[in-house]
Chains A and B, each alone.
Chain A
Amino acid sequence: MSAIEALYIFDEHNTCVLEHVWNGRPPSAQILLPLYLAHQSPRPSLIYISNTNPASLIYSIVQDRLLFLSPSSVDTDPLAHLEFLHRVADVLEDFLGSPLLSQKIETSYDVIAQLLGEMCDGGTVATTEPNALRDVVEAPSWMNKLLGGVGLPSASPSITPSSSGAFSSIPRQGISSNANNSNSIAIPWRRNNVRHTSNELYVDIIETLHVTLSPSGRPLSAFAHGTIAFTAKISGVPDLLLALTAPGGAHSLASILQLPVFHPCVRLARWKERPGELSFVPPDGRFLLAGYEVDLLGPDYLGRAVASPKMGMNLNIPASVEVRTGLGATGSDFEVRLLLDPKFASKGGLSGGRDAFSKPTGFGAKAGGTSSHPIVEDILIRIPIAGGVRNLSELRPSKGEAHYSPGDSAVEWRVAGRDASALSGNLHSSGAGVVATLRCTVVGAQDDEEDESGGAGLEIKAETWEYDDTGGAYQNKKADKESVIDEKNSVDRSAKRIKSNRTLMPGSASISFQVKGWLASGIKVDKLVIDTQRSRGVGANMQPYKGVKYLTVSKDGVEIRC
């Protein structure tokens, strides 16, 4: 078990910013890094390197462009090791502010040393709950955190830790303050003595789309991976109840919301009994309450699709793409069309901030502006380009900006949300429609060599083999075929070009976007209440500020094949 030997963190220039050894005599960071980099990118998260002493397994994760490496000389549970690295990254981010930057690490070695000491004890994972760590390790001073959180490089010497001693006289809530009752560990994930001047609760439900469309545009699979992020800033030990609903009512939630996973604080029994109700005592601060999955196509989609091939595409996604390849005289063009669902078009550029409930009772009015008018933002279409393509001679987007330079692996076409919504505004009547198109012409490496190589060797015929059972007629066909070959050779140059251009066509296209105030699954927060009976240290008539945010994200998530 205690096989986590060390942690090395490298910044984006591959310089080592942290080297912490827990156990054993692992190879140093300077030795491991070149061996790790020797592997071809994308590098697997677990690499075995036998030419170090001792032979080591290297686990790696990348977080905010920082590379975390951790060697181990014995066989361990790889997932546990990787999870641990993720926890370290999360905790560092929690303490040092997000995003995690190498400067932040370099200026807070004192905090990191304590954290790493607490998290892993002699190679055995000890405490990884951020709240428990908050109890024993102090976050960097507020001044530092404030500036670090903004992400400014702390060039000014006045805020580096060396001189932040000036603030150490500020009374701190170190260990000493809660020493009296720390004999007991009540709730492992919640820190003791939480105090907040203003009490706030935020629920962020984020769904990430993973949709695969067949070349014909029909969906093959469509999943939304949901995550419920929760931010609790409440004094005492509150006991919360979060109820979700789905379009078909609360009872259909169980079938919509599949394969859930929960933070340890969630009472599983309650969920089993009444799906959709999450009863929990939250950790302090931000955490992930639950994760789930929604099959947007519904159960047994394949069966239904085969049974009725003409079945309409009932997939409800705000934006998708269509690709047509092999266009033009020589088949060297392809066209990508952006399709927007008019429902998500809106003229008013509403930004979906937190729509807050004014009062806990005011849940009915929660929708605010964004939920009723969700709009698609940050549209980016990526079209991976085949390796044989030398260049794209023409990029003609009808809207937005497309970018490709020779050597890139993909064309990126960005359509500003304003453009898209303005365009689709015109489409209100005509249903889902094409908003913009991008047309490209590929130039393959073979185009030049063609003349030299022409004539040599046999050409492939356009004929495809049928698996017929007429092998007996073999001999007779022969004569015809030979003549056909000659004919082909002389006649059809352009067919050949179409053929060769076909290999240069993109094989897929994917679209990224985000929609605020809308969830693909249609799940909504029904209510969020504090159970005052069960809570402790919570004022009877405390009215916390509650906020709910919905966000649907596609990160290259909608993919069409062509």
Chain B
Amino acid sequence: MESISRVTSMLETARDLTLEAARDASFARKSSTRPLPPVQLKKLLDSRHDKEILDGLRKVLSMSYKHQPTLQYFSNIIKNIASPNLEIKKLVYAYLVQHAEEAPDTALLSINTIQKSLSDSNPQLRALALRTMSSIRVPVISQIVALGIKRGVGDMSPYVRKAAALAIPKCYRLDPSTMPLLVEHLSTLLGDKQYYVAGAAVMAFLELCPERMDLIHPHYRSLVRKIVDMDEWGQLATMRLMLLYARKSFPKRTKRVKKTKSVGDQERKPRKGFYDSESSEDEAGGASEEHGEEVLILDPDLDLFLRSIHPLLQSRTSAVIIAVARCYLYLGNTTYLDNAIGPLITLLRSAPDIQEVALYNIIQICLHYPQAFVSYASHFLVRATDSPSIQDLKLEILTLIFSYSPPTTRSLILAELSHFTTSSNPHLVRSAVQAIGRCAQSSPTTQLSTQCLKLLLKQLSSPDAHLVASSLDVIRHLIQRDPQAHVKTIVRLAKSLDALTAPAARASIIWLVGEFASVDPEHNIAADVLRILVKGYAGETDAVRAQTVLLAAKVYLQYLLATKKEDSVPEQPKNEDSTIEEGGWSPTATTPETSKLDSNHPIPLLYQHTLLLARYTPSYDLRDRARLYRSLLSTPTTSTALASLLLLADKPVPLAPSPSQSRKDFVLGSASLVIGEQSGTGGLKGYEALPPWVKEGEEPDPKLRDEVGGRGEYVSIGAAGGNVAGVSAGERLDGATGSKGGLGVGRVNGAGGKEKTLDDWLDEESEEEESSSGEEESGEEESEEESGVEYETESEEDNEGEEGRLVK
């Protein structure tokens, strides 16, 4: 979704004027904020009046943001930390967090007061104190912070518990030795009934100990159910966690099913190779490979997760949509992924900066699964206002879906691409030409690739040398892939030499003629092309001359080879005959019966002439080349083998992969994917590749995920269950008290352990208000406290149990 301020700007017509005025005014205004003399400022900070202290604090904060030294006021500021005025307190905290590192000793003076605030009656203040304390980057206080976290974990306010969760990674950074303690707290918080807290706990978990998957097992289902209600950031973290978790806990099971002519079949057909590479390990016997296709069997628990994140596809946050798509791509089957395609398209509506990153991700999915995007082709039409990188990305998507599209879409794409070859922007022209080349490569039918080639050939008549050169480049690639099919094209290209002026293009054509004209010995035009070129040798650029000389060498060598062959098979008609006779250039067409190396034969003469021309060329590189060819071909009888190795070797077929092919290995939604090659093969620092699926038999016991009911009462659930969870008495009580006062605490999975969204809760709010009785209200605090403690022990037991199982 667009950001609110962008939408607001459309509604406010005067906005531009205001911005204009502000810019003009800002020149005049720069000097007006001069700092107060230090003595006066200190006096303000030491004042008895809150008003003046606040004034002073604001001044100091402005100074510190403007990079003016403020350390001299540090102690004066810290003095105010105990102020009962909230405003003052918050500003002191803000300053402290930013500058504690610069004066650690003075900062320590404040710790005591902050610690006191941890038991304030106002939960927001408690949370603030905890956050501030953990943000002070002075390692000495790590134990105090750990203690504060312990208190916070047991706090009854979710604000404070969330602050505690977020403080955990900070504490770890201060002192890594607190790890075991922190992990313990974290496992408590992961099971918190408030989605608000659980989301933060997941973030902390990913930061602190992402490898400790054993902590997740008991909370898996509750986290999965809470994910809908979390805020965006919690959702993102939870999906990231679950992706890792699922890969490590659910072995990949596939089965083969008979191909059915279902509706989805046509879509699925071309996507072999997507899962095949991964599943080949599992599939020992591939006997049925031809008969069936692979279908992923989803573990019920995994399916629960995939289903629960489905509503998030309607999220306003682009990152969430990508994260869901990532889970579906790497965990789910195509049915799930299909659902994510539309929402991915919605990202194209967002701000340009987000659009660009989103397009990288869309391409990544498109590489795996192009046919899904076919119906959205018109969303990817390039617009003149798009930035160059977005244009490139859109063109790439169009080429990727090209071969999967219906004919109408194909013609639209081709029309689109050919339109941009006439653009005035050279970068766009090159991208478009290359895109046409990729379309031709991937075309399923020869007719289509002919059509692409036709488009490219049309470009050759353009007056834009740049365009001609780049389209010839692409044509050359296409011809090299299948020279037999393009014999006629080469003839046509040779014709165009008459008209073309761009040196790069001419050189490219000459090379092609030298390379492939011999494919069809009946119509070998190489010698004739050489003849024409030699006439205009003086007027050519060095690049063309070099290719001319090379062509001469190749033609001569072929002539030598042909005469040699005739020695052994005398009755073979000569290759060059047809062309040369028609040209009427040589009055005496040599007959096969004359001596092998007739010095009057036009080809040797032409060759000698070219070498002479080259010899008197200013470019020393060219003269060197000529010398090389001369000595290489000096002894016609012996050196032909070596020469043909050098000159007539088969050139490897160039591949023009989609530009994003190089990024294909990066995980969807990572920065490395956007940066691409620059980030190196292993990705950027902190990049994590997707873990492989756990092997069958090595996965953790699914029973570990059975919910313990949270409150000491264990109700076993079938492995396929999930909807019927155990409800303990304590939980019921909690559920009832939660609705007290209209604003409940732990209502999310209150009664019945059934998934209950916030909306459900709001729906039922009114009825429950009446039903909840007064006597339960009193029990709220205690039950909260109890639950925290009990839960801790519970999870410990559970860990042990799991270890035991793993050993077994």
Any B CB within 8 A of the CB of A408: no
Are the CB atoms of A168 and B19 closer together than 8 Å? Answer: no
CA distance A75 to B668 in the complex (A): 12
| Stretch touching chain B among A263-271, A312-320, A361-369, A413-421 | A263-271
Given known contacts A57-B684, A286-B4, is B86 in contact with A174 (CB within 8 Å)? Answer: yes
Q: Chain A interface residue count: which class?
A: 35 or more
Are the CB atoms of A1 and B124 closer together than 8 Å? Answer: no
| Least distance between A67 CB and chain B CB atoms (Å) | 12
Are the CB atoms of B379 and A291 closer together than 8 Å? Answer: no
Any B CB within 8 A of the CB of A188: yes
| Least distance between A365 CB and chain B CB atoms (Å) | 23
CA distance A184 to B178 in the complex (A): 30
Taking a contact as CB atoms closer than 8 A, the residue among A63, A264, A301, A463 that contacts B461 in the complex is A463
Question: Which single residue of chain B is at the shortest CB-CB distance from A41?
Answer: B387
CA distance A121 to B165 in the complex (A): 11
Are the CB atoms of A471 and B61 closer together than 8 Å? Answer: no
Residues of chain B within 8 A (CB-CB) of A73 are 685-686
Question: Which single residue of chain A is at the shortest CB-CB distance from B27?
Answer: A13
Are the CB atoms of A239 and B672 closer together than 8 Å? Answer: no
Are the CB atoms of A103 and B316 closer together than 8 Å? Answer: no
Are the CB atoms of A268 and B311 closer together than 8 Å? Answer: yes
Any A CB within 8 A of the CB of B628: no
Are the CB atoms of A559 and B231 closer together than 8 Å? Answer: no
Any A CB within 8 A of the CB of B149: no
Are the CB atoms of A175 and B672 closer together than 8 Å? Answer: no
Taking a contact as CB atoms closer than 8 A, the residue among A103, A110, A260, A474 that contacts B29 in the complex is A103
- Contact flags (1/0) for B277-309 with A, using CB distance below 8 Å? 000000000000000000000000000000000
User: Quick one: which of B183-209 are within 8 Å of A by CB?
Assistant: 194, 196, 200, 203-204, 206-207
| Stretch touching chain B among A204-212, A339-347, A433-441, A539-547 | A204-212
Any A CB within 8 A of the CB of B443: no
Taking a contact as CB atoms closer than 8 A, the residue among B525, B672, B742 that contacts A536 in the complex is B742
Are the CB atoms of B498 and A481 closer together than 8 Å? Answer: yes
Are the CB atoms of A227 and B7 closer together than 8 Å? Answer: yes
Are the CB atoms of B166 and A122 closer together than 8 Å? Answer: yes
Q: How many residues belonging to B are interface residues under a CB distance threshold of 8 Å?
A: 173
Residues of chain A within 8 A (CB-CB) of B523 are 471-472, 474
Any B CB within 8 A of the CB of A329: no
CA distance A384 to B424 in the complex (A): 10
Any A CB within 8 A of the CB of B621: no
Are the CB atoms of A75 and B207 closer together than 8 Å? Answer: no
User: Quick one: which of B410-442 are within 8 Å of A by CB?
Assistant: 411-412, 415-416, 419, 422-425
| Stretch touching chain B among A79-87, A244-252, A398-406 | A79-87
| Stretch touching chain B among A330-338, A423-431, A502-510, A520-528 | A502-510
Are the CB atoms of B579 and A221 closer together than 8 Å? Answer: no
User: Quick one: which of B459-501 are within 8 Å of A by CB?
Assistant: 460-464, 487-488, 491-492, 494-496, 498-501
Taking a contact as CB atoms closer than 8 A, the residue among B87, B124, B169 that contacts A168 in the complex is B87
Are the CB atoms of B381 and A221 closer together than 8 Å? Answer: yes
CA distance A475 to B406 in the complex (A): 41
Question: Which single residue of chain B is at the shortest CB-CB distance from A138?
Answer: B87
User: Quick one: which of A485-514 are within 8 Å of B by CB?
Assistant: 485, 499-500, 502-504, 507-508, 510, 514
Any B CB within 8 A of the CB of A259: yes
CA distance A109 to B687 in the complex (A): 35
Are the CB atoms of A77 and B319 closer together than 8 Å? Answer: yes
CA distance A340 to B745 in the complex (A): 58
| Least distance between B499 CB and chain A CB atoms (Å) | 5
CA distance A220 to B349 in the complex (A): 18
Are the CB atoms of A125 and B674 closer together than 8 Å? Answer: no
Are the CB atoms of B354 and A83 closer together than 8 Å? Answer: yes
Are the CB atoms of A174 and B87 closer together than 8 Å? Answer: yes
CA distance A172 to B26 in the complex (A): 31
CA distance A258 to B233 in the complex (A): 26
Are the CB atoms of B492 and A179 closer together than 8 Å? Answer: no
Question: Which single residue of chain A is at the shortest CB-CB distance from B450?
Answer: A467
Are the CB atoms of B26 and A121 closer together than 8 Å? Answer: no
Question: Which single residue of chain B is at the shortest CB-CB distance from A150?
Answer: B18
Are the CB atoms of A57 and B671 closer together than 8 Å? Answer: yes
Question: Which single residue of chain B is at the shortest CB-CB distance from A268?
Answer: B311
Report which residue of A155, A264, A534 has the largest number of chain B beta carbons within 10 angstroms of its beta carbon.
Answer: A264
Are the CB atoms of B314 and A261 closer together than 8 Å? Answer: yes
Taking a contact as CB atoms closer than 8 A, the residue among B19, B29, B406 that contacts A155 in the complex is B29
Are the CB atoms of B5 and A93 closer together than 8 Å? Answer: yes
Given known contacts A77-B669, A551-B10, is B583 in contact with A561 (CB within 8 Å)? Answer: no
Question: Which single residue of chain B is at the shortest CB-CB distance from A506?
Answer: B424
Residues of chain B within 8 A (CB-CB) of A176 are 86, 122
User: Quick one: which of A455-471 are within 8 Å of B by CB?
Assistant: 457-465, 467, 469, 471
Question: Which single residue of chain A is at the shortest CB-CB distance from B10?
Answer: A553
Any A CB within 8 A of the CB of B12: yes
Question: Which single residue of chain A is at the shortest CB-CB distance from B581?
Answer: A475
Taking a contact as CB atoms closer than 8 A, the residue among B11, B231, B346 that contacts A293 in the complex is B346
Residues of chain A within 8 A (CB-CB) of B9 are 64, 98-99
Any A CB within 8 A of the CB of B370: no
Any B CB within 8 A of the CB of A262: yes
- Contact flags (1/0) for B666-693 with A, using CB distance below 8 Å? 0001111011001100011111100000
Taking a contact as CB atoms closer than 8 A, the residue among A46, A184, A474 that contacts B491 in the complex is A474
CA distance A98 to B15 in the complex (A): 8
Any B CB within 8 A of the CB of A303: yes
CA distance A112 to B94 in the complex (A): 10
Residues of chain B within 8 A (CB-CB) of A556 are 384-385
Are the CB atoms of B58 and A61 closer together than 8 Å? Answer: no
Are the CB atoms of A2 and B745 closer together than 8 Å? Answer: no
CA distance A223 to B346 in the complex (A): 12
| Least distance between B436 CB and chain A CB atoms (Å) | 14
Any B CB within 8 A of the CB of A273: no
| Least distance between A429 CB and chain B CB atoms (Å) | 33
| Least distance between A194 CB and chain B CB atoms (Å) | 13
Any B CB within 8 A of the CB of A328: no
Any B CB within 8 A of the CB of A538: no
Are the CB atoms of B492 and A74 closer together than 8 Å? Answer: no
CA distance A225 to B319 in the complex (A): 19
| Least distance between B387 CB and chain A CB atoms (Å) | 4
Any B CB within 8 A of the CB of A181: yes
Any B CB within 8 A of the CB of A100: yes
| Stretch touching chain A among B105-113, B650-658, B760-768 | B760-768
Residues of chain B within 8 A (CB-CB) of A74 are 684-687
Are the CB atoms of B759 and A110 closer together than 8 Å? Answer: no
| Least distance between B216 CB and chain A CB atoms (Å) | 15
User: Quick one: which of B761-808 are within 8 Å of A by CB?
Assistant: 762-763, 765-766
Residues of chain B within 8 A (CB-CB) of A61 are 351, 353
Residues of chain B within 8 A (CB-CB) of A103 are 22, 25-26, 29
User: Quick one: which of B341-387 are within 8 Å of A by CB?
Assistant: 342-343, 345-346, 349, 351-354, 356-358, 361, 378-379, 381, 383-385, 387
User: Quick one: which of B61-115 are within 8 Å of A by CB?
Assistant: 61-62, 65, 67, 86-87, 90-91, 93-95, 97-98
CA distance A412 to B28 in the complex (A): 31
| Least distance between A280 CB and chain B CB atoms (Å) | 9
- Contact flags (1/0) for A144-186 with B, using CB distance below 8 Å? 0000000101010100111101101100101110010111111
Are the CB atoms of B379 and A223 closer together than 8 Å? Answer: yes
Given known contacts A75-B683, A103-B22, A113-B91, is B345 in contact with A122 (CB within 8 Å)? Answer: no
Report which residue of B233, B454, B579 has the largest number of chain A beta carbons within 10 angstroms of its beta carbon.
Answer: B233
Are the CB atoms of B170 and A75 closer together than 8 Å? Answer: no
CA distance A103 to B23 in the complex (A): 10
Any A CB within 8 A of the CB of B595: no
28 residue pairs of the A-B complex, CB under 8 angstroms, read A1-B236, A2-B169, A20-B65, A64-B19, A75-B671, A75-B688, A78-B674, A79-B358, A80-B233, A80-B236, A98-B8, A100-B5, A101-B22, A103-B26, A109-B62, A125-B233, A153-B21, A153-B29, A185-B159, A288-B7, A302-B412, A460-B462, A463-B461, A471-B492, A475-B583, A477-B495, A503-B464, A533-B766
Given contacts A204-B7, A286-B4, 8 further A-B contacts (CB under 8 A): A13-B26, A57-B671, A83-B319, A136-B124, A187-B762, A220-B412, A259-B345, A464-B461
